[in-house]
Chain A
Amino acid sequence: MALYNFKKIMVVPTAKDFIDITLSKTQRKTPTVVHKHYQIHRIRHFYMRKVKFTQQNYHDRLSQILTDFPKLDDIHPFYADLMNVLYDKDHYKLALGQINIAKNLIDNVAKDYVRLMKYGDSLYRCKQLKRAALGRMCTILKRQKSSLEYLEQVRQHLSRLPSIDPNTRTLLLCGYPNVGKSSFINKVTRADVDVQPYAFTTKSLFVGHMDYRYLRWQVVDTPGILDHPLEERNTIEMQAITALAHLRAAVLYVMDVSEQCGHTLQEQLELFNSIRPLFANKPLIVVANKCDVKKITELSEENQKIFADLTAEGIPVIETSTLTEEGVMQVKTEACDRLLADRVENKMKGKKVHDVLNRLHLAMPAKRDDKERPPFIPEGALIRKRAMEVDAPKRRLERDLEVELGDDYILDLQKYWDLMNEEEKHDRVPEVWEGHNIADYIDPDIMKKLEDLEKEEELKERAGEYDSDDESEDEDMQEIRVLAKQIREKKQLLIVQSKDKDVHGPRMPRTTTKVRGGGQFKIITAVSVLVCTRFARRSRSITKKRKREASAPPTSKTRSQSASRPPRDQSGIRDPKMAKKAKKMMKNSQKDMNRQGKKGEADRHVFDLKPKHLLAGKRKSGTNDYR
């Protein structure tokens, strides 16, 4: 299983935390109440449950640690070797072994004590046995303190390792410290590796990704290697050696032509020869970096001979400068091409190719006539392609300007404006002039446009676009209108008729009688008969176009029920002073009830003196003020 995602490992708690977590979990998740008078089997079961629960938790947690951490035999040898270099294989295996032993011991302890508890004949005895069992399990774990600490540190470091895929196309950079490997990777990919003048700035492997020929390539930056035998190498250098040994990649051996790194060309050649065996079967390119300081042709005779020898052996030597970016693209393309050719060759030699080759068939269409039909490639694509291959100077970007000016840079977008008078670009534009808002007059044709608009509006109005359209109404709508008119007429008739009838005789003023709702109903029932027949069909609602007008307040006020009698708080009151006193008395008597949250005088009964949700369970009184 490709465990290249080491970020999924669970946090390894410290011994103290581990114990605290598990014991408090046992306390929370198992029943807590037991009494002496319970039946003995119930007591036993209660305590056995606790022992087993604790054992289960420890077991689960420890097993998870054991499965999360990668087994050095199961992962790619590159990662296995890298972990050996960084964390020491023996120590790692020992730590995991200790955890395993602890897990087994805890299981055994639990088993023994559960067996003993079957003979417990009193609550005290069972309780003591449970206490002894939990104590022993926690002691076992306390002894694993150092293993757990070590594993936590390993986990943290492991999760930050760069995710290098050992099987894909890779370019590997190696060489002395300070020759320019990290600068190279910064130029070619988006990796942001720290570049500093002191040696061993890069202390571990870094990976960056780039694209070439529509494929994804990995570029791996290594810490510098010094020239001494393998046994004397420290951890940092060993990481580079591991990468060289296990990754099947194109190797870019970077040399510093100007000798600014502090090592002469001879020394660099020595190193090259000593790690030569690691370059076997890998496409190799020698990158002569820092050529802006010193070119190969400026070197002495013997140094030039070095490079000449290398070229003679068939290893391409390419001059680059990561500062001026010359030669970087060339190196990239050369290395990628060589690696691709190598990979294809290896794949052809392998067995899997034949499955694919058998199924592939390249169809070559036979020529129909003598007419030439070349592929059509638009100009832009060709230009771009050429730009990709050769480093064409790009146009000067705003960003370049910013970098150049540094702190003095001010963003000035006005220089791009297209004005008739070029000198006016940087003028300040006022906002108000002679009482007019400048923004209104931006357009030179604005007056003309306004006139056009007004004319259009006039035309539209005349055409009647804003009128309510009677023609668009269909038959139903017209019928409704007719009906409504009829209803109105009928209503008025009924009103006049009822006024003429002198049924009631001498009348009392309106305030003394109760209002009857019946009179209104009569009108409505008479009308509704007319309406129902026509309205039954309609299901859609039609929105009518209507002129907008200011919304009027409702014309009728609803009359209160007790119009005939004075309200209770006003009856029997002689003057405002008495009214005020009465109101005060009322409020006083209500104060107490309101404070207790009662509705009124009759609301005396408390239905639930001890609400269960506040007082029962583990979180009872003293823990929460509300639920």
Chain B
Amino acid sequence: MPQNEHIELHRKRHGQRLDHHERKRKKESREVHERSHKAKKLIGLKAKLYHKQRHAEKIQMKKTLKMHEQRKTKQKNDDKTPEGAVPAYLLDREGQSRAKVLSNMIKQKRKEKAGKWEVPLPKVRAQGETEVLKVIKTGKRQKKAWKRMVTKVCFVGDGFTRKPPKYERFIRPMGLRFKKAHVTHPELKATFCLPILGVKKNPSSPLYTSLGVITKGTVVEVNVSELGLVTQGGKVIWGKYAQVTNNPENDGCINATVPGYPEFTRNVLTTTKNTKIQHAVGFQSQDHQEDR
């Protein structure tokens, strides 16, 4: 029975076929023709996949070629040089670009004064009632049509209990209730799966806000305690606002981004010397402003 490296052993003892190298060479050179034949004759889905793969390969090839070329040629280093007449004592100096570096704190204070929200998606398509709420017919003859079922993804809190089914006007199905959102932080360039604390505002209608319907553009509050963020003053941040960036009912998940800055903080916890946890009051004043 063939044991261990029997193939290599056979090659060592008996060598390879007499025409091995020729066959290998011919096979490799035939590859070019086969590739072109495939590229011409494939149709349908296979063609799409093949062309996509080939496109990626070609890009890689071009990149490596360019890389090799770059080593051969010399490139000019064009630094910034000041244009126009330059005084003599500046002739030797290279151009400098200056920018005002402002601290985060100052920027935040300015925004506070202006009172504007900066949101990732400023304009969002409004969802009509027929789209979000579906009419449910009830009654002995299925004629009463006062019940509505939410067809979009929604959030209900932890302690949520339904009203008695007979009196319940808005039905939020369990299959469409989500508790977690995938939140992307643009600075950290990372995505985290964070639990939702609540729906802050749905731009289409205050009715949806109260129902907890989450559509594209909804501002949602997420629990960021696991990120371990701390404010300048030493307070631990555990809630942040994030705006939903996808259509959750089409994708089956809620993707949201946290705007870069200014930060929105809420319910910041303070820790005293005795490590007692106190609940600090207050929203920041800009919370309540709407974007126009």
- Contact partner, A129, options B4, B43, B49, B250, Cβ 8 Å: B250
Assess the A132–B253 pair: CB atoms within 8 A.
yes
Assess the A160–B2 pair: CB atoms within 8 A.
yes
Assess the B151–A121 pair: CB atoms within 8 A.
yes
Interface residues in B235-261 by Cβ distance below 8 A to A read 247, 249-253
Interface residues in B186-207 by Cβ distance below 8 A to A read none
Q: Given A129-B251, A132-B253, A162-B1, is A119 in contact with B176 using a C-beta cutoff of 8 Å?
A: yes
Assess the A160–B3 pair: CB atoms within 8 A.
yes
A212 at the interface (CB under 8 A from B): no
B5 at the interface (CB under 8 A from A): yes
Closest-by-CB residue of B relative to A204 is: B4
Assess the B175–A160 pair: CB atoms within 8 A.
no
Assess the B4–A116 pair: CB atoms within 8 A.
no
Interface residues in B1-30 by Cβ distance below 8 A to A read 1-6, 9, 12
Assess the B252–A112 pair: CB atoms within 8 A.
yes
A-B contact pairs, 14 of them (CB 8 A): A113-B252, A115-B175, A118-B175, A119-B176, A119-B249, A121-B134, A124-B250, A125-B249, A128-B251, A132-B250, A162-B3, A162-B4, A206-B3, A207-B3
Assess the A160–B176 pair: CB atoms within 8 A.
no
Interface membership of chain A positions 81-122, coded 1 if the CB is closer than 8 angstroms to chain B and 0 otherwise: 000000000000000000000000000000011011011010
A binding-site residues for B, Cβ under 8 Å: 20, 27, 112-113, 115-116, 118-119, 121, 124-125, 128-129, 132-133, 160-163, 191, 194, 203-207, 622
The 5 closest A-B pairs by CB, nearest first: A128-B250, A162-B3, A132-B251, A115-B175, A204-B4
Closest-by-CB residue of A relative to B49 is: A20
B173 at the interface (CB under 8 A from A): yes
B45 at the interface (CB under 8 A from A): yes
- Shortest Cβ gap from B76 to chain A (Å): 42
Given A119-B176, A160-B3, 9 further pairs, Cβ under 8 A: A115-B175, A116-B176, A116-B249, A119-B151, A119-B249, A132-B250, A133-B252, A160-B4, A162-B4
Q: Which of B9, B249, B252, B253 counts the most chain A CB atoms within 10 A?
A: B252
- Contact partner, A27, options B2, B4, B6, B45, Cβ 8 Å: B45
CA–CA, A160 and B5, complex, Å: 8
- Shortest Cβ gap from A188 to chain B (Å): 16
- Shortest Cβ gap from B95 to chain A (Å): 47
- Shortest Cβ gap from A26 to chain B (Å): 12
- Contact partner, A206, options B4, B151, B247, Cβ 8 Å: B4
Q: Which of B2, B3, B43, B176 counts the most chain A CB atoms within 10 A?
A: B3
Assess the B175–A116 pair: CB atoms within 8 A.
yes
CA–CA, A133 and B176, complex, Å: 15
Closest-by-CB residue of A relative to B174 is: A115
Residues in B neighbouring A163, C-beta threshold 8 A: 1
Q: Which of A129, A160, A207 counts the most chain B CB atoms within 10 A?
A: A160
Closest-by-CB residue of A relative to B248 is: A116
Assess the A119–B251 pair: CB atoms within 8 A.
no
- Shortest Cβ gap from B190 to chain A (Å): 16
- Shortest Cβ gap from B122 to chain A (Å): 24
Residues in A neighbouring B5, C-beta threshold 8 A: 160
Q: Given A121-B134, A121-B151, is A116 in contact with B2 using a C-beta cutoff of 8 Å?
A: no
- Shortest Cβ gap from B48 to chain A (Å): 12
B binding-site residues for A, Cβ under 8 Å: 1-6, 9, 12, 43, 45, 49, 134, 151, 173, 175-176, 247, 249-253
Residues in B neighbouring A20, C-beta threshold 8 A: 49
Assess the B4–A161 pair: CB atoms within 8 A.
yes
CA–CA, A93 and B224, complex, Å: 35
- Contact partner, A119, options B6, B43, B173, Cβ 8 Å: B173
Closest-by-CB residue of A relative to B3 is: A162
Assess the B9–A194 pair: CB atoms within 8 A.
yes
Assess the B173–A129 pair: CB atoms within 8 A.
no
Residues in A neighbouring B49, C-beta threshold 8 A: 20
CA–CA, A112 and B252, complex, Å: 8
- Shortest Cβ gap from B290 to chain A (Å): 29
Residues in A neighbouring B173, C-beta threshold 8 A: 119
Closest-by-CB residue of A relative to B175 is: A115
Residues in B neighbouring A160, C-beta threshold 8 A: 2-6
CA–CA, A203 and B5, complex, Å: 10
Residues in A neighbouring B252, C-beta threshold 8 A: 112-113, 116, 129, 132-133
CA–CA, A112 and B251, complex, Å: 11
CA–CA, A118 and B173, complex, Å: 11
- Shortest Cβ gap from B182 to chain A (Å): 12
- Shortest Cβ gap from A130 to chain B (Å): 10
CA–CA, A381 and B1, complex, Å: 32
Assess the B9–A125 pair: CB atoms within 8 A.
no
- Shortest Cβ gap from A441 to chain B (Å): 45
Residues in A neighbouring B43, C-beta threshold 8 A: 622
Residues in A neighbouring B249, C-beta threshold 8 A: 116, 119, 125
- Shortest Cβ gap from A5 to chain B (Å): 11
Closest-by-CB residue of A relative to B131 is: A121
Q: Which of B5, B43, B250 counts the most chain A CB atoms within 10 A?
A: B250
CA–CA, A161 and B43, complex, Å: 44
Closest-by-CB residue of B relative to A125 is: B250
- Shortest Cβ gap from B99 to chain A (Å): 40
Residues in B neighbouring A115, C-beta threshold 8 A: 175
Closest-by-CB residue of B relative to A157 is: B4
Residues in A neighbouring B176, C-beta threshold 8 A: 116, 119
CA–CA, A133 and B173, complex, Å: 20
Closest-by-CB residue of B relative to A209 is: B1
CA–CA, A206 and B2, complex, Å: 10
Residues in A neighbouring B12, C-beta threshold 8 A: 194
CA–CA, A115 and B153, complex, Å: 13
Residues in B neighbouring A162, C-beta threshold 8 A: 1, 3-4
Residues in A neighbouring B251, C-beta threshold 8 A: 128-129, 132
Residues in B neighbouring A204, C-beta threshold 8 A: 4
- Shortest Cβ gap from B83 to chain A (Å): 51
- Shortest Cβ gap from B168 to chain A (Å): 17
Closest-by-CB residue of B relative to A115 is: B175
CA–CA, A118 and B134, complex, Å: 14
- Shortest Cβ gap from B270 to chain A (Å): 39
- Shortest Cβ gap from B3 to chain A (Å): 4
CA–CA, A167 and B233, complex, Å: 73
CA–CA, A115 and B175, complex, Å: 6
Q: Which of A27, A119, A203 counts the most chain B CB atoms within 10 A?
A: A119
- Shortest Cβ gap from A12 to chain B (Å): 20
- Shortest Cβ gap from A86 to chain B (Å): 11
CA–CA, A113 and B178, complex, Å: 13
- Shortest Cβ gap from B103 to chain A (Å): 40
Residues in A neighbouring B253, C-beta threshold 8 A: 132
CA–CA, A204 and B176, complex, Å: 59
Closest-by-CB residue of B relative to A206 is: B3
Closest-by-CB residue of A relative to B45 is: A27
CA–CA, A11 and B104, complex, Å: 57
Residues in B neighbouring A124, C-beta threshold 8 A: 250
Closest-by-CB residue of A relative to B1 is: A163
CA–CA, A121 and B134, complex, Å: 10
Closest-by-CB residue of B relative to A16 is: B53
Residues in B neighbouring A203, C-beta threshold 8 A: 4
CA–CA, A516 and B236, complex, Å: 123
CA–CA, A206 and B9, complex, Å: 13
CA–CA, A205 and B49, complex, Å: 46
Closest-by-CB residue of A relative to B251 is: A132
